[in-house]
Structure 1
């Protein structure tokens, strides 16, 4: 996501001919988009995306269970 935002920012600055990017080749401005595409391919093929989604679901489940325990008065108190 950061690479995509960087690429969009660089493309905008290049298009507006602002700063040092006005004189840089378009190929260098487009590099973050290529890196973002490579990241997404790697993340999907390695299972990173599914693992992170599963972790998020498990955390929501733990939070929901903890909330219900507290509302029932079953929360363990530490002294």
Structure 2
């Protein structure tokens, strides 16, 4: 998400020609957007980063449910 926000801010600042970004080529921003696309579509899946958060969340729910059920039975 920080990468997407960075691309959006850089694009806006480049469009408004603020500061040093007026001399920066659009290709740098397009390249960064291309890198973000490749990362989120391919690398994140290959590394399993897209499922890691889901699994951690479901494991926590499972542990909480087990703890509640054992606490009620005592």
> So what's the TM-score if we normalise by structure 1?
0.70
TM-score (norm 2): 0.74
Q: Which has the higher Rg, Structure 1 or Structure 2? A: 1
1:24 to 2:37 alignment: no
Q: Number of aligned pairs?
A: 73
* Superposition deviation, residue 32 in structure 1: 2.3
Unaligned runs of 5+ in 2: none
Residue number in structure 1 paired with 2:35: 35
Greater fraction of residues in helix? 2
RMSD: 2.3
